[in-house]
């Protein structure tokens, strides 16, 4: 395994691999790897001759007052975990090489995919995500890139962006990986105190409860949303950002629940923001 920090060197290596007929599988991350990331690396290992991991805490996707500074970082640990996953190249650039002096170019996906849900709560977030992912994809030029479905909306936005910009890459969405008690894996989980950690189980609880109610016959989205908000609000330190039931492809809110309906949750527990989501009907 090799770690590369220089952009031009990384790009030259990847273009050379591509020209030599190797397929490149790519997992872009912000580091502080957990089992969710590892599941992407394991799948990537199967799909690419060259397995590339990037670690970059991207400043442009954090809003003012968000947790850019305190976002957890541990490069040595990440490197060890990457080695165990048989990663070939770790791309580890710094912020001033990704956004040098005079940097001025941004990629935006406009409209309903980005102005609801996370986009409504974090107005510049997706602009930062699509900009850095475009840059990473033009540097690494992978055949396939893998993303977790915990960031459900991000995955939809990236699918749209890569299709729209004709980037020659297959985007693969992978299942959410959870702790034993059901909390979705996230680098931000380390922020949680013991009491907050306990309260965070209300997310998986309410997703499970919603699916049960739907299984029992409920089809009205508003009824399921109300029940979910009530459940979440029973936690003392939890503030609901949103609870919405949307079409899984367009992310438009739906009135009536069907096979394509996904429930998306965002909450703050103390100072920590958590998101989660789940399809509401068993898939055929």
Catalytic residue list: 37
Structure tokens at 127: 């602009």
CB of 121 to its own copies, least distance (A): 20
- The one among 34, 45, 160, 219 contacting its own copies by CB under 8 A: 160
**Shortest distance (Å) from residue 66 CB to its own copies:** 21
How far is residue 184's CA from residue 196's CA, in Å, rounded to a whole number? 14
* Candidate ranges 29-37, 102-110, 188-196, 198-206; the one touching its own copies (CB under 8 A): 102-110
Is residue 252 close enough to count as binding its own copies by CB under 8 A?
A: no
Assess contact for 53 and 87: CB atoms under 8 A: yes
108 is a contact residue toward its own copies (CB under 8 A): yes
Distance of CA 1 to CAs 26, 47, 79, Å?
A: 14, 17, 9
Residue 111 Ramachandran class (φ > 0 left, ψ -120 to 50 alpha, else beta): left
Q: Is 19 in the site for its own copies (CB under 8 A)?
A: yes
Report if residue 53 touches its own copies, rule: CB under 8 A: no
- 204 lies in the site for its own copies, by CB under 8 A: no
Residue 165 near its own copies by CB under 8 A = yes
How near is the Cβ of 131 to its own copies at its closest, in Å?
Answer: 8
Point out which residues pair with 274 in neighbouring strands: 267
CA distance 242 to 255: 16
**For its own copies, which stretch binds (CB under 8 A), given 17-25, 40-48, 233-241, 254-262?**
17-25
Task: Say if residues 93 and 56 touch (Cβ distance below 8 Å).
Answer: yes
Q: How far is the CB of 69 from its own copies (least distance, A)?
A: 24
Residue 130 neighbours by CB distance under 10 Å: 25
For position 138 contacting its own copies by CB under 8 A, the verdict is yes
For 104-123, letters b (16+ CB in 10 Å) and e give eeebebeeebbebbbbeebe
Structure tokens, 254: 């739906």
Binding segment for its own copies (CB under 8 A), chosen from 14-22, 57-65, 147-155, 174-182, is 14-22
* Closer Cβ to its own copies, 243 or 251, answer by number: 251
Nearest to 248, CA basis, from 117, 111, 109: 117
d(CA 116, CA 122): 9
Question: Which of 80, 111, 190, 233 touches its own copies (CB under 8 A)?
Answer: 111
**124 is an interface residue for its own copies by CB under 8 A:** no
Q: Which residues bind its own copies (CB under 8 A)?
A: 7, 11, 15, 18-19, 21, 102-111, 113, 130, 134-135, 138-139, 160-161, 164-168
């Amino acid at each position: 395994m090799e770690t590369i920090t220089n952009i031009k060197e990384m790009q030259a290596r990847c273009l050379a691999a591509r020209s030599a007929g190797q397929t490149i599988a790519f997992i872009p991350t912000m580091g502080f790897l957990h089992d969710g990331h590892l599941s992407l690396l394991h799948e990537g290992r199967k799909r690419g001759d060259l397995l590339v991991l990037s670690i970059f805490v991207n400043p442009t996707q954090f809003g003012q007052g968000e947790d850019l500074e305190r976002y957890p970082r541990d490069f040595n640990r990440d490197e060890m975990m990457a080695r165990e996953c048989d990663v070939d190249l770790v791309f580890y650039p710094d912020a001033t090489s990704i956004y040098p002096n005079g940097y001025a170019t941004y990629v935006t996906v406009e409209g309903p995919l980005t102005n609801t849900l996370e986009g409504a709560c974090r107005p510049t977030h997706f602009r930062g995500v699509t900009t850095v992912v475009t840059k990473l994809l033009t540097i690494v030029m992978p055949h396939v890139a893998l993303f977790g479905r915990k960031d459900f909306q991000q995955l939809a936005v990236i699918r749209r962006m890569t299709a729209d910009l004709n980037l020659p890459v297959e985007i693969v969405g992978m299942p959410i990986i959870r702790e034993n008690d059901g909390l979705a894996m996230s680098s931000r989980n380390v922020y949680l105190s013991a009491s907050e950690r306990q309260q965070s189980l209300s997310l998986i609880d309410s997703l499970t409860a919603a699916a049960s109610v739907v299984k029992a016959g409920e089809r009205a989205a508003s009824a399921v949303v109300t029940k979910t908000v009530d459940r979440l609000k029973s936690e003392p330190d939890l503030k609901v950002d949103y609870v919405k039931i949307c079409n899984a492809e367009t992310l438009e809110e739906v009135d009536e629940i069907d096979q394509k309906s996904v429930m998306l949750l965002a909450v703050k527990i103390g100072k920590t923001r958590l998101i989660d989501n789940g399809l509401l009907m068993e898939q055929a």
